Homo-oligomer: A and B are copies of this chain.
Protein backbone atom coordinates (compact mmCIF):
# COMPACT_ATOMS: atom_id res chain seq x y z
CA UNK A 1 0.00 0.00 0.00
CA UNK A 2 1.01 3.57 -0.56
CA UNK A 3 1.88 5.62 2.40
CA UNK A 4 0.75 9.23 2.42
CA UNK A 5 4.24 10.68 2.19
CA UNK A 6 6.00 11.81 -0.91
CA UNK A 7 8.62 9.06 -0.64
CA UNK A 8 6.01 6.54 -1.62
CA UNK A 9 5.12 8.45 -4.76
CA UNK A 10 7.98 7.93 -7.20
CA UNK A 11 6.19 7.87 -10.54
CA UNK A 12 3.44 10.15 -11.77
CA UNK A 13 1.43 9.83 -14.97
CA UNK A 14 0.18 13.16 -16.25
CA UNK A 15 -2.66 12.63 -18.70
CA UNK A 16 -3.10 15.67 -20.93
CA UNK A 17 -0.17 18.04 -21.43
CA UNK A 18 -1.92 21.38 -21.79
CA UNK A 19 -1.28 24.39 -19.54
CA UNK A 20 -2.47 22.56 -16.41
CA UNK A 21 -0.80 19.25 -17.25
CA UNK A 22 2.53 20.90 -18.02
CA UNK A 23 2.40 22.82 -14.74
CA UNK A 24 1.70 19.63 -12.74
CA UNK A 25 4.56 18.00 -14.63
CA UNK A 26 6.98 20.73 -13.58
CA UNK A 27 5.85 20.58 -9.96
CA UNK A 28 6.09 16.78 -9.75
CA UNK A 29 9.60 16.87 -11.29
CA UNK A 30 10.58 19.63 -8.87
CA UNK A 31 9.43 17.40 -6.03
CA UNK A 32 11.59 14.53 -7.30
CA UNK A 33 9.05 12.31 -9.06
CA UNK A 34 9.50 10.61 -12.41
CA UNK A 35 6.81 11.87 -14.77
CA UNK A 36 5.27 10.21 -17.81
CA UNK A 37 3.18 12.56 -19.93
CA UNK A 38 0.50 11.19 -22.21
CA UNK A 39 -1.16 13.43 -24.78
CA UNK A 40 -2.35 12.64 -28.32
CA UNK A 41 -0.75 15.75 -29.87
CA UNK A 42 2.31 14.85 -31.95
CA UNK A 43 4.27 17.93 -30.82
CA UNK A 44 3.51 17.44 -27.13
CA UNK A 45 7.10 16.79 -26.05
CA UNK A 46 8.49 20.10 -27.27
CA UNK A 47 5.50 21.99 -25.86
CA UNK A 48 5.73 20.46 -22.40
CA UNK A 49 9.53 20.64 -22.21
CA UNK A 50 9.40 24.33 -23.08
CA UNK A 51 6.67 24.96 -20.50
CA UNK A 52 8.58 23.04 -17.82
CA UNK A 53 11.81 24.95 -18.54
CA UNK A 54 9.98 28.26 -18.40
CA UNK A 55 8.67 27.71 -14.88
CA UNK A 56 11.95 26.28 -13.54
CA UNK A 57 13.17 29.67 -12.19
CA UNK A 58 9.93 30.09 -10.24
CA UNK A 59 10.17 26.62 -8.73
CA UNK A 60 13.80 27.32 -7.86
CA UNK A 61 12.59 30.44 -6.03
CA UNK A 62 10.25 28.18 -4.09
CA UNK A 63 13.27 26.14 -3.02
CA UNK A 64 12.96 23.17 -5.36
CA UNK A 65 15.73 21.37 -7.21
CA UNK A 66 15.11 22.14 -10.86
CA UNK A 67 17.98 20.37 -12.64
CA UNK A 68 15.52 17.79 -13.99
CA UNK A 69 13.37 20.59 -15.39
CA UNK A 70 16.03 22.37 -17.41
CA UNK A 71 17.91 19.39 -18.83
CA UNK A 72 16.78 15.99 -20.01
CA UNK A 73 17.83 13.77 -17.13
CA UNK A 74 15.51 10.98 -18.16
CA UNK A 75 12.99 11.65 -15.38
CA UNK A 76 10.52 13.16 -17.84
CA UNK A 77 9.24 10.85 -20.55
CA UNK A 78 6.46 11.00 -23.12
CA UNK A 79 4.28 8.04 -23.95
CA UNK A 80 1.71 8.02 -26.74
CA UNK A 81 0.09 4.82 -25.52
CA UNK A 82 -2.21 5.47 -22.56
CA UNK A 83 -1.95 1.97 -21.08
CA UNK A 84 1.83 2.08 -21.11
CA UNK A 85 1.84 5.63 -19.71
CA UNK A 86 0.00 4.64 -16.54
CA UNK A 87 1.33 1.08 -16.18
CA UNK A 88 3.75 1.81 -13.35
CA UNK A 89 2.25 5.04 -12.00
CA UNK A 90 1.92 5.66 -8.27
CA UNK A 91 -0.35 8.59 -9.04
CA UNK A 92 -2.34 9.51 -12.15
CA UNK A 93 -3.28 13.19 -12.57
CA UNK A 94 -5.68 13.63 -15.47
CA UNK A 95 -6.07 16.98 -17.23
CA UNK A 96 -8.18 16.17 -20.25
CA UNK A 97 -10.62 18.55 -21.89
CA UNK A 98 -13.69 19.36 -19.79
CA UNK A 99 -15.93 16.95 -21.74
CA UNK A 100 -17.75 14.35 -19.71
CA UNK A 101 -17.79 11.56 -22.29
CA UNK A 102 -14.06 11.90 -22.92
CA UNK A 103 -13.13 11.93 -19.25
CA UNK A 104 -15.34 8.90 -18.60
CA UNK A 105 -13.60 6.97 -21.38
CA UNK A 106 -10.18 8.03 -20.16
CA UNK A 107 -10.79 6.87 -16.62
CA UNK A 108 -12.32 3.55 -17.66
CA UNK A 109 -9.13 2.92 -19.65
CA UNK A 110 -6.73 4.21 -16.98
CA UNK A 111 -8.35 1.98 -14.37
CA UNK A 112 -7.66 -1.12 -16.48
CA UNK A 113 -3.99 -0.33 -17.11
CA UNK A 114 -2.75 1.32 -13.90
CA UNK A 115 -1.52 -0.46 -10.77
CA UNK A 116 -4.37 -1.41 -8.43
CA UNK A 117 -3.22 0.92 -5.67
CA UNK A 118 -2.30 3.98 -7.74
CA UNK A 119 -3.89 7.25 -6.61
CA UNK A 120 -6.37 8.57 -9.21
CA UNK A 121 -7.12 12.29 -9.45
CA UNK A 122 -8.80 14.42 -12.08
CA UNK A 123 -7.96 18.13 -12.46
CA UNK A 124 -11.55 18.73 -13.62
CA UNK A 125 -12.59 22.28 -12.85
CA UNK A 126 -16.32 21.67 -12.98
CA UNK A 127 -17.29 18.08 -13.80
CA UNK A 128 -17.77 16.21 -10.52
CA UNK A 129 -16.14 12.88 -9.65
CA UNK A 130 -19.49 11.08 -9.47
CA UNK A 131 -20.12 11.76 -13.16
CA UNK A 132 -16.52 11.31 -14.33
CA UNK A 133 -16.24 7.92 -12.58
CA UNK A 134 -19.49 6.57 -13.99
CA UNK A 135 -17.90 4.01 -16.28
CA UNK A 136 -15.25 2.85 -13.84
CA UNK A 137 -15.50 -0.57 -12.30
CA UNK A 138 -14.28 0.90 -9.03
CA UNK A 139 -15.52 4.51 -8.94
CA UNK A 140 -14.45 4.64 -5.29
CA UNK A 141 -10.88 5.11 -6.56
CA UNK A 142 -11.42 8.49 -8.25
CA UNK A 143 -11.29 11.90 -6.62
CA UNK A 144 -11.16 15.42 -8.02
CA UNK A 145 -7.87 17.24 -7.41
CA UNK A 146 -8.63 20.66 -8.86
CA UNK A 147 -5.72 23.11 -9.03
CA UNK A 148 -5.63 26.83 -9.83
CA UNK A 149 -3.72 28.51 -12.58
CA UNK A 150 -0.77 28.36 -12.39
CA UNK A 151 -0.89 25.04 -10.48
CA UNK A 152 2.83 24.96 -9.74
CA UNK A 153 2.42 28.22 -7.84
CA UNK A 154 -1.09 28.84 -6.49
CA UNK A 155 -1.31 26.80 -3.26
CA UNK A 156 -4.90 25.55 -3.32
CA UNK A 157 -5.97 22.15 -4.60
CA UNK A 158 -9.68 21.41 -4.12
CA UNK A 159 -10.01 17.73 -3.25
CA UNK A 160 -13.61 16.81 -4.01
CA UNK A 161 -14.82 13.24 -3.52
CA UNK A 162 -17.78 11.99 -5.53
CA UNK A 163 -20.80 10.16 -4.15
CA UNK A 164 -18.97 6.84 -4.38
CA UNK A 165 -15.39 7.94 -3.66
CA UNK A 166 -13.73 6.02 -0.82
CA UNK A 167 -13.01 8.57 1.95
CA UNK A 168 -9.57 6.98 2.30
CA UNK A 169 -8.81 7.95 -1.31
CA UNK A 170 -9.69 11.59 -0.58
CA UNK A 171 -7.44 11.46 2.46
CA UNK A 172 -4.60 10.01 0.41
CA UNK A 173 -5.04 12.77 -2.16
CA UNK A 174 -4.91 15.45 0.55
CA UNK A 175 -1.70 13.92 1.93
CA UNK A 176 -0.17 13.59 -1.54
CA UNK A 177 -0.84 17.22 -2.51
CA UNK A 178 0.44 18.39 0.87
CA UNK A 179 3.64 16.43 0.23
CA UNK A 180 3.87 18.24 -3.11
CA UNK A 181 3.88 21.52 -1.17
CA UNK A 182 0.30 22.41 -2.02
CA UNK A 183 -2.51 23.50 0.29
CA UNK A 184 -5.28 20.96 -0.35
CA UNK A 185 -8.80 21.62 0.89
CA UNK A 186 -11.22 18.75 1.21
CA UNK A 187 -14.63 19.85 -0.06
CA UNK A 188 -17.19 17.84 1.90
CA UNK A 189 -20.11 18.05 -0.49
CA UNK A 190 -20.04 17.70 -4.26
CA UNK A 191 -21.37 20.80 -6.01
CA UNK A 192 -20.84 21.88 -9.66
CA UNK A 193 -17.88 24.26 -9.92
CA UNK A 194 -16.79 23.35 -6.38
CA UNK A 195 -15.96 26.33 -4.14
CA UNK A 196 -13.40 28.75 -5.55
CA UNK A 197 -14.73 28.85 -9.10
CA UNK A 198 -18.27 29.44 -7.87
CA UNK A 199 -17.05 32.40 -5.81
CA UNK A 200 -15.00 33.62 -8.74
CA UNK A 201 -17.94 33.26 -11.12
CA UNK A 202 -20.15 35.28 -8.78
CA UNK A 203 -17.66 38.14 -8.58
CA UNK A 204 -16.92 38.00 -12.31
CA UNK A 205 -20.61 38.26 -13.20
CA UNK A 206 -20.88 41.54 -11.30
CA UNK A 207 -17.56 42.68 -12.81
CA UNK A 208 -18.95 42.10 -16.31
CA UNK A 209 -22.09 44.01 -15.30
CA UNK A 210 -20.04 47.04 -14.17
CA UNK A 211 -18.02 47.08 -17.40
CA UNK A 212 -21.10 46.68 -19.58
CA UNK A 213 -22.75 49.57 -17.71
CA UNK A 214 -19.74 51.81 -18.29
CA UNK A 215 -19.14 52.35 -14.56
CA UNK A 216 -15.41 51.59 -14.83
CA UNK A 217 -13.01 50.00 -17.30
CA UNK A 218 -11.47 46.56 -16.85
CA UNK A 219 -8.19 48.10 -15.76
CA UNK A 220 -9.93 50.42 -13.30
CA UNK A 221 -11.95 47.55 -11.86
CA UNK A 222 -8.83 45.42 -11.54
CA UNK A 223 -7.09 48.27 -9.75
CA UNK A 224 -10.06 48.63 -7.38
CA UNK A 225 -9.81 44.93 -6.53
CA UNK A 226 -6.04 44.73 -6.04
CA UNK A 227 -6.05 47.83 -3.83
CA UNK A 228 -8.98 46.81 -1.60
CA UNK A 229 -10.93 43.56 -1.47
CA UNK A 230 -8.29 41.44 -3.26
CA UNK A 231 -5.56 42.72 -0.98
CA UNK A 232 -7.66 41.84 2.06
CA UNK A 233 -8.73 38.43 0.69
CA UNK A 234 -5.10 37.40 0.21
CA UNK A 235 -4.80 37.64 3.98
CA UNK A 236 -8.27 37.02 5.41
CA UNK A 237 -11.13 35.39 3.51
CA UNK A 238 -14.58 36.95 3.13
CA UNK A 239 -15.93 35.68 6.45
CA UNK A 240 -12.96 36.77 8.54
CA UNK A 241 -12.97 40.10 6.70
CA UNK A 242 -16.59 40.77 7.70
CA UNK A 243 -15.88 39.35 11.16
CA UNK A 244 -13.31 42.14 11.51
CA UNK A 245 -15.72 44.60 9.89
CA UNK A 246 -18.19 44.00 12.70
CA UNK A 247 -16.00 45.51 15.41
CA UNK A 248 -15.71 43.74 18.77
CA UNK A 249 -19.01 41.92 18.08
CA UNK A 250 -17.53 40.26 15.01
CA UNK A 251 -19.56 38.63 12.25
CA UNK A 252 -22.77 38.38 14.33
CA UNK A 253 -22.68 42.17 14.83
CA UNK A 254 -21.84 42.68 11.16
CA UNK A 255 -24.81 40.57 10.07
CA UNK A 256 -27.11 42.28 12.55
CA UNK A 257 -26.09 45.62 11.06
CA UNK A 258 -26.02 44.77 7.33
CA UNK A 259 -28.39 41.83 6.96
CA UNK A 260 -31.38 43.88 5.93
CA UNK A 261 -29.53 46.09 3.46
CA UNK A 262 -27.75 43.09 1.91
CA UNK A 263 -30.92 41.10 1.51
CA UNK A 264 -33.19 43.95 0.47
CA UNK A 265 -30.84 46.18 -1.53
CA UNK A 266 -27.30 44.85 -2.02
CA UNK A 267 -28.07 41.41 -3.38
CA UNK A 268 -31.18 42.22 -5.41
CA UNK A 269 -29.40 45.10 -7.14
CA UNK A 270 -26.56 42.92 -8.46
CA UNK A 271 -26.42 42.72 -12.22
CA UNK A 272 -27.35 39.81 -14.46
CA UNK A 273 -25.31 40.58 -17.58
CA UNK A 274 -25.37 38.63 -20.78
CA UNK A 275 -22.25 37.51 -22.60
CA UNK A 276 -23.79 38.46 -25.92
CA UNK A 277 -21.75 39.63 -28.91
CA UNK A 278 -21.56 43.34 -28.00
CA UNK A 279 -20.55 42.55 -24.42
CA UNK A 280 -17.87 40.08 -25.48
CA UNK A 281 -16.62 42.61 -28.03
CA UNK A 282 -16.42 45.31 -25.35
CA UNK A 283 -14.64 43.00 -22.89
CA UNK A 284 -12.22 41.85 -25.59
CA UNK A 285 -11.47 45.39 -26.72
CA UNK A 286 -10.63 46.60 -23.23
CA UNK A 287 -8.41 43.54 -22.72
CA UNK A 288 -5.97 45.07 -25.21
CA UNK A 289 -4.89 47.56 -22.54
CA UNK A 290 -3.21 45.53 -19.81
CA UNK A 291 0.20 46.92 -20.73
CA UNK A 292 2.11 43.83 -21.86
CA UNK A 293 1.88 40.51 -23.62
CA UNK A 294 0.19 37.66 -21.80
CA UNK A 295 3.64 36.13 -21.28
CA UNK A 296 5.04 39.30 -19.74
CA UNK A 297 2.02 39.79 -17.52
CA UNK A 298 2.11 36.15 -16.40
CA UNK A 299 5.80 36.42 -15.51
CA UNK A 300 5.10 39.57 -13.52
CA UNK A 301 2.19 37.91 -11.72
CA UNK A 302 4.18 34.77 -10.92
CA UNK A 303 7.08 36.77 -9.50
CA UNK A 304 4.64 38.81 -7.41
CA UNK A 305 2.92 35.66 -6.09
CA UNK A 306 6.30 34.33 -4.95
CA UNK A 307 7.13 37.64 -3.24
CA UNK A 308 3.72 37.70 -1.60
CA UNK A 309 3.95 34.13 -0.32
CA UNK A 310 7.43 34.80 1.03
CA UNK A 311 6.25 37.99 2.78
CA UNK A 312 3.37 36.12 4.41
CA UNK A 313 5.52 33.15 5.41
CA UNK A 314 3.56 30.90 3.09
CA UNK A 315 6.27 29.47 0.85
CA UNK A 316 5.69 25.74 0.45
CA UNK A 317 7.62 23.46 2.76
CA UNK A 318 10.71 21.78 1.35
CA UNK A 319 10.33 18.13 0.45
CA UNK A 320 12.15 16.94 3.59
CA UNK A 321 10.01 19.18 5.79
CA UNK A 322 6.79 17.89 4.37
CA UNK A 323 7.45 14.25 5.21
Q: Does A173 contact B (CB under 8 A)?
A: no
- Taken together as a complex, chains A and B put the C-alpha atoms of A156 and B134 apart, in Å, by 49
- Structural contact, B231 and A213, CB atoms closer than 8 A: no
Closest residue of B by beta carbon distance from A147: B228
- Structural contact, A226 and B222, CB atoms closer than 8 A: no
Number of copies: 2
- Taken together as a complex, chains A and B put the C-alpha atoms of A280 and B257 apart, in Å, by 12
Given A191-B213, A192-B265, A200-B229, are A287 and B238 also a contact pair (CB < 8 Å)?
no
- What are the residues of chain B within 8 A of A267 when measuring CB–CB? 201, 205, 272
- Structural contact, B259 and A227, CB atoms closer than 8 A: no
8 Å CB contacts to B: which residues of A253-306?
255, 259, 261-263, 265-267, 269-270, 272, 274-275, 280, 283-284, 286-287, 290, 294-295, 297-298, 301, 304-305
Q: Does A248 contact B (CB under 8 A)?
A: yes
- What are the residues of chain B within 8 A of A202 when measuring CB–CB? 202-203, 205-206, 270
- Taken together as a complex, chains A and B put the C-alpha atoms of A81 and B19 apart, in Å, by 64
- Structural contact, A294 and B244, CB atoms closer than 8 A: yes
A66-74, A88-96, A182-190 - the one binding chain B: A182-190
Interface size of A as a range:
35 or more
Closest residue of B by beta carbon distance from A210: B195
Q: Does A308 contact B (CB under 8 A)?
A: yes
Q: Does A234 contact B (CB under 8 A)?
A: yes
- Structural contact, B297 and A243, CB atoms closer than 8 A: yes
Partner of A195, one of B19, B221, B232: B221
- Structural contact, A158 and B224, CB atoms closer than 8 A: yes
- Structural contact, A229 and B199, CB atoms closer than 8 A: yes
- What are the residues of chain B within 8 A of A109 when measuring CB–CB? none
Given A215-B188, A294-B248, are A210 and B234 also a contact pair (CB < 8 Å)?
no
**Smallest CB–CB gap between A262 and chain B, Å?**
6
- What are the residues of chain B within 8 A of A298 when measuring CB–CB? 244
